[in-house]
Amino acid sequence: MAPSSYQPPTRGDKGGPATRSQSVESNLSQTQSTVAKLLEGKGDAVIAVRPADTIHSVVDILRDKRIGAVVVTDQNGALQGILSERDIVRRMADTPGQTLPQSVEALMTREVQTCAPEDRLMDVLKTMTEGRFRHMPVLSDGRLCGVITIGDVVHFRLQELEYEALRMKQMIVG
């Protein structure tokens, strides 16, 4: 009997069920993830300052807390604006040596994009990317209940993908 030559597999050679590392469901599952789900793990701590505070005090907070932005609230905790490192750096370029004594109110962004706990993370990520900002306050019934960053959203999604990959591996092995 002569040895047969190699022939590559052709369509229909495999009779077993097909497996997929990705599916429409796994690729789109992040669309079901919400801001509330992210905040469950991150927590709802919010670093806030007042409009009359100085930029110097905000710079100290940003450094000490290792964060990139603070929300600005009134005495009742209502959102008034947001102030980021980027806002401060731009003002420093415009007013060198005179920025730190200025008030938060003079630099803060007043028209703040916000999200709600029930918002889908993919929608929030799209808004942040298109708006070119990295921090978004979360409001529930008009009250500030958290702040999320673009990094939080990306990190959360990466954890979901790792979990999904592990689950798929367990399904294949088990």
pLDDT tens digits for range 32-72: 799 999 999 888 889 999 999 999 999 999 999 999 999 99
Q: Which pLDDT score, from 0 to 100, does residue 17 have?
A: 53
Mean pLDDT of all residues in 83-108: 95
Q: How far apart are the first and last CA of the chain?
A: 40
Closest CA to 150 of 161, 158, 140, 142: 158
Q: Which pLDDT score, from 0 to 100, does residue 131 have?
A: 93
- Say if residues 68 and 84 touch (Cβ distance below 8 Å): yes
Helix (H) or strand (E) holding 41: helix 35-42
Closest CA to 106 of 131, 79, 133, 83: 83
Give me the half-sphere count of Cα atoms (radius 13 Å) on the Cβ side of residue 169. Answer: 6
Distance CA(108)–CA(102), nearest Å, equals 11
